[in-house]
Amino acid sequence: MTLAVPAPVALADRPLVDVPVAAQVRLDTSACAPSCRLRMAELGLRAGSVVTVVGRSSGGGRVVQVGTARVAVDRLTACALRACPVSVDLFR
């Protein structure tokens, strides 16, 4: 009997709302409105930040960890934030 090993989930550029819990991704805030980008930066969620998705809310939002801080992001904002694999450098 052979057991199938599931393939790792590809984290190609997609909305943060679609990233599974425990995945580590690099944020791309370029799709957000300037006011949203400013607020995210104030919370520590800047373009190029590496974050870990640590939870989901019942309304579809996400809780992300950046450094030692955890930030809750509502569903609409999580749809606007793009997530790239950590190996992608947004500033090349």
Kindly report, residue by residue over 64-79, the tens digit of the pLDDT.
999 999 999 999 999 9
Reported pTM: 0.79
Domain ranges of the chain: 21-85
Label residue 6 by pLDDT band (50, 70, 90): very low
The residues near 64 (Cβ < 8 Å, ≥ 6 apart) are: 16, 45, 51, 52, 53, 54, 70, 71, 73
How far is residue 84 from each of residues 5, 34, 56, measured CA to CA in Å? 24, 20, 19
Could you report the per-residue pLDDT of 7-47, keeping only the tens digit for each? Answer: 444 556 899 999 999 999 999 998 899 999 999 999 999 99
Residue 89 scores a pLDDT above 70:
no
What is the model's pLDDT at position 65? 97
Label residue 88 by pLDDT band (50, 70, 90): low
CATH architecture of 21-85: Roll (2.30)
What is the model's pLDDT at position 91? 61
Question: Distance (Å, rounded) from C-alpha 89 to C-alpha 71?
Answer: 23
Collapsed DSSP state (helix, strand, coil) of residue 38: helix
